[in-house]
Each structure stands twice: as C-alpha cells, then as structure tokens.
Amino acid sequence: MDTMIRRFKRTALLLALAALPALDAFAQDIKYNVLFVAVDDMNDWIAPFGGYPGIKTPNIDKLAKKGVIFTRAYCSAPACNPSRASLLTGVRPSSSGVYHNNQPWRPVLKDAVTIPQYFTANGYEVKGAGKIFHNAFNDKASWPSYFDVPKSPEPPKAPVNGFAHFDWSPVNVQDEDMGDYKVVNEGIGFLKDKHEKPFFLAVGFTRPHLPWYVPQKYFDQYPLSSIKLPKTIANDLQDVPDAGVKIAKPKGDHKFIVEHKQWEKAVQGYLASITFADGQIGRLLDALENSEYAKNTVIVFLGDHGWHLGEKEHWRKFALWEEASRVPFIVYAPGLSKASGVSERTVNLMDIYPTLTELCKLPAKKGVEGNSIVALLKNPAAAWNHPSITTHGFGNHAVRSEQYRYIRYNDGSEELYDHDADPQEWKNLANDVKYASVKAELAKSLPKNNAKDAPTVKEGKE
C-alpha cells in the first residue's frame, strides 16, 4: 500500500509539473536560439503601435500579444546604413562617424565585432538572409552562411506615379515572385533543419522600402476612397529652425506629391507594402511556431527607422522628428518576457546588442553603447532612466524622454516638443524661457563626442 501511495504521489507530482508553464531556457541555463527580424522603412503605422487606423497587420499583432512591445523605441540614426551598422556593432553614429547611407562602415570600424560575429565566436550557428546590413555594405565577415537580397518585380513602365524609385504601383505578380517571399523561404528551410548548436538566424525584409511595388491584392485592401492622410497643419515648418527646414526639403518630395495629387496614392502604396510584409513575416513566425525550436527561441522584431508621409512637409526618413525616429520594436523571450507586455520606457535599437548577450548568457561585450532591456522584458514598467538618442549627420541629435523631444542641430539651433500636450510636434517650445531647465536636463544626454564624418562613396539606392 505504501508503495502504491508513493507511486501515486510521484505521478501526481509529475502531472502537476507538466501542467506548469514550461521552464524557460533562461532559468534552465539552456542557450536560447535567436530569430532576429529586421524590416526596412516600417514606421509606427502597424496596428500594435496605433499609427494608422484600420491597417491590417495580423501577424505582427499576434507577435505583440506574445511578447513585449516598446511604444517609445527609437533608432540611433534615421537612415538604413547608420542605423543598422550601429545596432549591429554596438557603436553609435556619433562614435564612428557613420552618419549617412553613403559612408561604408567597415573601414572606420575595422575591429568592430558585429552581433552575428559575436554569436559565432560564442558557439552559435549563424545564418543571415535578406537585408540585415545596408545592402551596399553587407559584411561578409559576419555571415558564415548568407542568402542575398533577391530582386523584386517592377511594373513594365516605371516610374508609374512618382519619380526614380520614389514610386508606388501594384505589380501583376504573385507573392512567390517577390524577393521577400524568397528570403522567408530561406528562413523557413533553416527552421526545418536539425541544428546541433544554438542558432542565430537573421531575416531582413525589404518592403515597405521604396519603391512600393507589391501585388494588386494588397492595394485592394486599402481603397483610395478610404485613405486617411496624416494629421498635418499649415505652416508647420514656420517655427522650425533653418537647419530643420533644410532637412525637411518641403520643395522636394512633398511639393511633387501635392502638385501631382499623389498623397492618397502614396499612402495607399505604403499601407499595401506594410500588409504584404506582414504576410511574409507571418510565414516566418508560423514556421518557428511549428518547429522544434519554438519554446526556446528569442524573437527580436524591429524596424530600422521611421518614415514620414507628409508630416512637417517631409517624406522618407532622414530627419530627427518623431515620425522618422520612432520604430516598431517587439521582443519575445520564452518564459521570461511578459505576454502582451507594453513598455512606455524610452529604449533604442542600440539596446539590442547587450540585451541579446544577456539573454543568451554570453559574456558581456565590452565597448557596446546601449543598455540591456532584460529588466523591462520581465517588468515593462520597471524603473528606467535612459533617454533615447537619435543622430542625423555630424552634430545633429535628438534626445527623447517619455515626455519631451529635444533637438539640437550642429549650428546650435533647437527644437523642443512636449509630447503630453503635442504628440504631433506642431509647437516648438525651444525659445520659451519656461522650458530652459527642461532643455538643460535633456542636453545632459547629448553625445559628448562627435566623430568626424567617415569617408563617403557614390550613393546608390537607400
């Protein structure tokens, strides 16, 4: 009888343990895998970040419910090359001098160890597919295995509505014909394989980068009659210093859009491209979910910078305002991150490197400029005192606290916006003496060092 009772208790204990949430890799000292998902030019219009009402991003929505979304996440630089180079090396633009897309980063960061290199050196199997670094400056040293960015179809007669690659139009093709679809196939194949070592898989999506050419069915989801233009006001640049107006270039893209009555069509093209990208992201996430690695794989999802669609009479990125610097950022760490977590703390893409090394129990990488957000994954409302810094060009910086955005240009001119009262950044408070102490406090976070511009090459596509 005693033996039967002991067996019964042991069975009950095992059943009880089985009913508990799976012990996470973090607690068991098992190495996490990493799925690193980078999306080009995707701003905060996706559903979890509330930027555009009615946008269709069901797969990103699903990921947001699984992990923690950071509603105040920002890029280190509002351009592909400096943003990606900095987050992948852990070296800020102001420390490297890599500020723009036409500055190769490796010549000035010869000894930098990128995230994939560091994971390789620490025993991980590493693979990259699609756009991870800026296309022109992909780093062969970072990838033991890499699948390059395939070309996507274009309309027979391009440009259709815009000029050069600043263009938008449906293309008469299937999803399978698109470059991002083929990139995802590489990721899916990798996740189906058996891996003896923990892995770091990076998958980069090109859309919604220009040109906005995706299959017709995605345009059909956003009829022109239902398109909502961004909230704008007349003369928004009136209180912006000359340095900011020069960046906005109101007589460039925006003048073309307005004069050719393309605003609704352009917004439609951007929305269609986001929803196309979401579908491909869903294929990748479903493959992970259906693999043997679902329960011990960290997912990092990010946009490399924001995007303007007419706010402040500006288009594209390349600016220090909220639209250009705010990014979608979601992190899931099995058994560690809070499901459906929402953190309002100011974080930066520079925080990815130290976060991943801590999550994966790798030695902390020396010299990395960023702050681990592991504490925020556990408790999204945890105390945090790290304003987020975005840099665009030599000596031009924005400091973002939870309430304010402070911009100081290289010529000393300034902008200050109170996001509690003015989320659209319509009223520049920099010249109001009442905010002198606010500016002084935020200025403490400006980079102390401004590296000289790295050498440039002839610039190709963004």
341, 281 Cβ separation under 8 angstroms? no
Q: How far are the Cα atoms of 8, 9, 10 from residue 5, in angstroms, in the given order?
A: 5, 6, 9
| Coil, helix or strand at residue 265 | helix
**pLDDT, position 15:** 38
| Rounded Cα gap, residues 76 and 390, in angstroms | 4
**pLDDT, position 106:** 98
**pLDDT, position 16:** 40
| Rounded Cα gap, residues 310 and 197, in angstroms | 47
Q: Which residue stretches of the chain have pLDDT < 70?
A: 1-29, 459-462
Other C-beta atoms lying within 10 Å of the C-beta of residue 437: 9
pLDDT digits (tens, 9 = 90+) for 335-349: 999 999 999 999 999
pTM confidence score:
0.93
Residue 81 phi, psi (nearest 5): -65, -55
Q: Which amino acid is at 164?
A: A
**pLDDT, position 459:** 66
Contact residues for 255 (Cβ-Cβ < 8 A; gap 6+): none
CA dihedral 256, 262, 267, 273 (to 10 degrees): -90
Residue 315 phi, psi (nearest 5): -125, 160
What is the DSSP code (8-state) at residue 253?
A: I
∠ Cα 207 349 111 (to 5°): 100
Q: Please list the active-site residues.
A: 80, 134
| Rounded Cα gap, residues 142 and 36, in angstroms | 14
15, 279 Cβ separation under 8 angstroms? no
First to last CA, the chain: 76
360, 198 Cβ separation under 8 angstroms? yes
268, 222 Cβ separation under 8 angstroms? yes
Q: Is the dihedral of CA 84, 87, 92, 97 positive or negative?
A: negative
| Rounded Cα gap, residues 219 and 169, in angstroms | 8
pLDDT digits (tens, 9 = 90+) for 238-278: 999 999 999 999 999 999 999 999 999 999 999 999 999 99
